Homo-oligomer: A and B are copies of this chain.
Amino acid sequence: MMLLETYRERIDQALMSLVQQREPAGLYEPIRYVLSLGGKRIRPALCLLGCSLYHTEKVSDSLYPALGLEVFHNFTLLHDDIMDGSEMRRNAPTVHKKWDDNTAILSGDAMMILAYQLISRTPQKALGPVLELFSQTGLEVCEGQQYDVLYESRNDITETDYIEMIRLKTAVLLGASLKTGAIIGGASPEAAHHLYQFGMDAGISFQLQDDWLDVFGDAATFGKNIGGDIVTNKKTFLLINALNNLSAAGKKELQFWIDKKDFDRDEKVKAVRNLYEDANVSISAKKRMNEFLQKALLHLEQAGGSAAIQEELKTFAYGLMERSR
């Protein structure tokens, strides 16, 4: 993404200066820590692109809201990591591990306020709709996280439930990032809506792919330990579909691996992957991914705007699929 590269340094600098020299250190140091761990900065990039799609000259008007979206995203990771008991994030200890739960709760709260502070720097004309979209999206992200937690202890989750969960937890924020930029860039409500749908559908495709890569991806490319979701019995698209589609015998074997406390990691990953292949879940996942990607691209077309930025956004969407080889 050319535009992202142009803005990345400014984004990173602005994020770092955000909480510099604020006291008490016990509150702000964990925030500095989280924001310094990097990440792809996809949300601010999408916000800037969304703005420049309609108004190339005024793209810097969307810089602070773009940062707000990134800070909000990092806030959700911080609190999710407490809830999930995750110890590592971006190859570094999570805040609640490096400090403690209370620090992670409170610093996360402060991050959400910082996010709103940045969103509030939206130009006056667009402030109302941008705030409304941001709050609506924030609630949806919380709802998605609640469904995610809930579904972990339930065995009757359908594919539709699962897709709705990832839509809320992950995809709506990508749609909202684009739409925030679009609103600031002066897009018509219809265009802004299509751009939102593009981001959301691409986001669902992206998340399905993430599930797929964990099992069928190439370790070198994916950069994570293949099979991590299998080891922890994470309720992914693949696991849910396998539970719904396997024969009675296959289901029984899958349940055996889910319940087994002592196991050889490689043995479990291999056995479960074989069961996934029996249930054809790799194919159905790829089918779904592609469906959502195609839907996304249709919405992108209808969103109009600058042809060059349309091209960048298309590249971005295809880039998502690229990761799956």
**A85-124 near B? 1/0 per residue, CB < 8 Å:** 0000000000000000110011011101110110010001
| B83-A105 in contact (CB<8A) | yes
- Residue from A83, A135, A147 with most neighbouring chain B CB atoms (10 Å): A135
A102 to B83, CA, bound (A): 5
Contact B146 A27 (CB under 8 A): yes
**A145 interfacial contact with B, CB 8 Å:** yes
Q: Quick check: is A189 within 8 A (CB to CB) of the other chain?
A: no
A79 touches B109 (CB 8 A): yes
Any B CB within 8 A of the CB of A82: yes
A143 cross-chain contacts in B, Cβ below 8 A: 23-24, 27, 110
A145 vs chain B, min Cβ distance (A): 6
A65 within 8 Å of B by Cβ? no
Residues B24 and A106 in contact, CB atoms below 8 Å apart? no
Q: Is A150 an interface residue (CB 8 A)?
A: yes
Whether A142 pairs with B27 at a CB distance below 8 angstroms is: yes
B109 to A135, Cβ gap below 8 A? no
A321 at the interface (CB under 8 A from B): no
Q: What are some 25 contacts across the A-B interface (CB < 8 A)?
A: A23-B143, A26-B146, A27-B142, A27-B143, A79-B105, A79-B106, A83-B105, A83-B106, A101-B101, A106-B145, A106-B146, A106-B149, A109-B109, A110-B139, A112-B113, A113-B138, A113-B142, A114-B139, A116-B116, A117-B132, A117-B135, A117-B136, A117-B139, A127-B127, A131-B131
A residues within 8 Å of B by Cβ? 23-24, 26-27, 79, 82-83, 101-102, 105-106, 108-110, 112-114, 116-117, 120, 124, 127-128, 131-132, 135-136, 138-139, 142-143, 145-147, 149-150
Q: Lowest 8 A-B CB distances belong to which pairs?
A: A27-B146, A113-B138, A117-B135, A110-B142, A83-B102, A120-B131, A24-B146, A26-B146
